[in-house]
Amino acid sequence: MAALDFAPETTRITRSPSALALGFNAVSKFYNAWRNRRAFYRLGEMTDAELRDIGLTRADLHVAVAVPFGVDPTTRLRGLVESRGEHL
């Protein structure tokens, strides 16, 4: 077989994702954001001593919750902790 026999397959591989794939990715991203928000809100139920044990303060939670819904608040928390020189 010649290399040209495989040429049509390579163009099919490099196409942009289908509408179905884009829709699935959007739903998946929304679900992950929702799940991470739920986990983040559980941090708010902890006492100040428990938060201090993991290197957080109540103020950190208030700052991190202000991010838009599509943004993961836990990544904002990590940035706050790392800026103080601590590690989560």
Average the pLDDT over 12-33 and give the result: 82
Residue-wise pLDDT tens digits, 35-66: 888 888 999 999 999 999 988 999 999 998 88
Angle at 84 between CA 69 and CA 42, to 5 degrees: 40
Could you give phi then psi for residue 71, rounded to 5 degrees? -95, 135
Q: Which helix (H) or strand (E) holds 25?
A: helix 19-43
**Cα-based distances in Å from 31 to 21, 37, 85:** 15, 10, 31
| pLDDT of the residue at 4 | 56
Average pLDDT for residues 71-83, to the nearest whole number?
Answer: 86
Threshold 0.95, pTM exceeds? no
- Percentage of the chain beyond pLDDT 90 is 26
